[in-house]
Amino acid sequence: MTWTASGKPRPARTSPAAGDPDGPRHIYTAGPRPGMGEGGPHWAGSLAREVALRRRQGLGPSRGFDSLHIGGLDTVPPSPRELTRFLELSRLSPNPGAEVALELHPDEVDERLVDRWVQAGVTRLSFRCPASGVPEGWPDRAGVSRLSSWGVDVPFAIQRKGPDHGFGDSSGAGGAKGGVDGGDAVGSSPANAMQILEAVIHRWAPPQVSLVERVQAGDEGPLEVREPDPDQEDQLADLYLDLTRRLEEAGYRQWSFTAFARPGSEPRHQRAVLEGEAYLGLGPGAHSHARGRRFWNLDDPTAYFIRLESGLDARAGDQRPAPAEQLFHRLWGLLSLEEGLDLRDSGLHDARRIRDRWVSEGWARSAAGRLGLTPAGWLLLDTLIPELAGYWPRGVMPAGAGSNRTPPIRPGT
């Protein structure tokens, strides 16, 4: 199913091999973790070495950035002092209006710490709501309710993995794998998913809500690899549609297939990847896209740290995606957004037939030459994209659409 993120958006700009002439303006990294020193004393230094290396390779960012996202499973947020040290060592500074976001657990922060992070340049906090429910006293206890930019990740689907399987990272582009491979584990929804969402809406009322997949280590060893249960998939699909309807009733706009926001509260880093902008991932397992190339780092934190300390590259792989892969990921990213895809002047064969059928099935909505998916269509994203790609003209890459340029396609249009 699409919510497992089995297709990962390929960051590119209007031309698949172009990218920003000043280098990636969006940066993703996990917080300190084992292998980089307790509390992160090696975190800032090792990431700064990687930034310097990428710059020498022509793949790094210029001094300014538009977004910096720090998060991930099995990590802790850097201290305000360590965050400042990383930016100084890396010779990085936020562009005007830039977003600096931290992903963290509610128990990892208090009001005093929030103030120190804000002083260090943090503009956004994203809280991982535990599957056990909403902690008492949040967010007022930490003082985050006064922030204009913050969000809550609500656990929707739980993937249990045995200890030998390893983990993907929840931080999207900057994480180790950007999702969980289907078939390695069996998904299940938390029994209290709707109750958690209701508590988040009424007690927290955050500007932004995301429905996320959680990965949990299994206590009974590795799971047997088997096909997902169709009945279970149907139950998860029904739950997803119920959650999206409840968020819409509460005044949230669904701007992506798992993301909802009040006006003006969309996370910049998530939109940047889906719109196809170049990005740089730093740290163990991080994925990047720059200058038309995709590359990724070693997963093991210790191996990553040792290679950088030795002056070596910590990359584990590097590729220039084939045209078919570029098209697939480009379509995946654009159709994951509320604005959808511009079909005008695309040269797409049978565009009207595809549009009319998808709309009649309730999978899409169309207006002013654009095609956007409904929640029901987002559930079928991995099925619909290959169909669309099969008709797409060879050598033509779909154009992007920024949130300031393209109005969303509203229900009923």
pLDDT tens per residue across span 365-375: 998 888 999 99
CATH number at residue 341: 1.10.10
Q: Which of 214, 247, 275 represents a domain boundary (last residue)?
A: 275
In a domain, 409, yes or no: no
Give yes or no for residue 413 having a pLDDT over 70.
no
In a domain, 63, yes or no: yes
Q: Are residues 38 and 113 in the same domain?
A: yes
255 compared with 180, residue with greater pLDDT:
255
Q: Are residues 212 and 343 in the same domain?
A: no
The pTM of this model reads 0.80
Q: Which of 247, 275, 303 represents a domain boundary (last residue)?
A: 275
In a domain, 83, yes or no: yes
In a domain, 97, yes or no: yes
Residue 101's pLDDT is what? 93
In terms of residue numbers, what domain contains 339? 323-391
Instruction: State the pLDDT confidence band at 291, using cuts at 50, 70 and 90.
Output: confident
Q: Are residues 219 and 129 in the same domain?
A: yes
For tokens 């969000």, the residue is: 151
Residue 91's pLDDT is what? 96
Give yes or no for residue 74 having a pLDDT over 70.
yes
165 compared with 307, residue with greater pLDDT:
307
Q: Are residues 99 and 19 in the same domain?
A: yes
Query: Rg of the Cα trace of the chain?
Result: 21
Q: Are residues 271 and 331 in the same domain?
A: no
Three-class secondary structure assignment of 120-155: CCCCEEEEECCCCCCCCCCCHHHCHHHCCCEEEEEE
Q: Which of 275, 301, 332 represents a domain boundary (last residue)?
A: 275
Q: Are residues 195 and 335 in the same domain?
A: no
Q: Are residues 104 and 195 in the same domain?
A: yes
In a domain, 354, yes or no: yes
At a CB cut-off of 8 Å and minimum separation 6, what does 278 contact? 11, 12, 13, 19, 20, 23, 24, 25, 26, 289, 290, 291
8 Å CB contact between 131 and 154: no
Range scoring the smallest mean pLDDT among 10-19, 65-74, 87-96: 10-19
Three-class secondary structure assignment of the chain: CHHHCCCCCCCCCCCCCCCCCCCCCEEEECCCCCCCCCCCCCHHHHHHHHHHHHHHCCCCCCCEEEEEEECCCCCCCCCHHHHHHHHHHHCCEEEEEEEEEEEECHHHCCHHHHHHHHHCCCCEEEEECCCCCCCCCCCHHHCHHHCCCEEEEEEEEEEEECCCCCCCCCCHHHCCCCCCCCCCCCEECCCCHHHHHHHHHHHHCCCEEEEEEEEEECCCCCCCCCCCCHHHHHHHHHHHHHHHHHHHHCCCEEEECCEEECCCCCCHHHHHHHHCCCEEEECCCCEEEECCEEEEECCCHHHHHHHHHCCCCCEEEEECCCHHHHHHHHHHHHHCECCCEECCCCCCCCHHHHHHHHHHCCCEEEECCEEEECHHHHCCHHHHHHHHHHHCCCCCCCCCCCCCCCCCCCCCC
Q: Are residues 222 and 352 in the same domain?
A: no
Give yes or no for residue 200 having a pLDDT over 70.
yes
Q: How far is CA 117 from CA 104, 226, 244, in A?
A: 12, 44, 32
* Residues 6-22: tens digit of each pLDDT: 333 333 333 333 345 56
In a domain, 127, yes or no: yes
Instruction: State the pLDDT confidence band at 122, using cuts at 50, 70 and 90.
Output: very high
Considering 29-43, 105-119, 154-168, the range whose residues carry the highest mean pLDDT is 105-119
Give yes or no for residue 334 having a pLDDT over 80.
yes
Give yes or no for residue 51 having a pLDDT over 80.
yes
In a domain, 55, yes or no: yes
Q: What is the total count of domains within the chain?
A: 2
Give yes or no for residue 99 having a pLDDT over 90.
yes
191 compared with 297, residue with greater pLDDT:
297
Q: Are residues 270 and 357 in the same domain?
A: no
Half-sphere exposure of 229 (CA within 13 A, CB side): 9
* Residues 139-166: tens digit of each pLDDT: 666 777 667 689 999 887 654 433 332 2
In a domain, 289, yes or no: no
Instruction: State the pLDDT confidence band at 267, using cuts at 50, 70 and 90.
Output: confident
For tokens 């950088």, the residue is: 308
Q: Are residues 36 and 135 in the same domain?
A: yes
Q: Are residues 217 and 366 in the same domain?
A: no
Q: Are residues 225 and 332 in the same domain?
A: no
Sign of CA dihedral 237, 243, 246, 248: negative
* Residues 380-397: tens digit of each pLDDT: 998 999 999 888 888 788
pLDDT, mean over the chain: 77
Give yes or no for residue 221 having a pLDDT over 70.
no
Considering 145-154, 166-175, 228-237, the range whose residues carry the highest mean pLDDT is 145-154
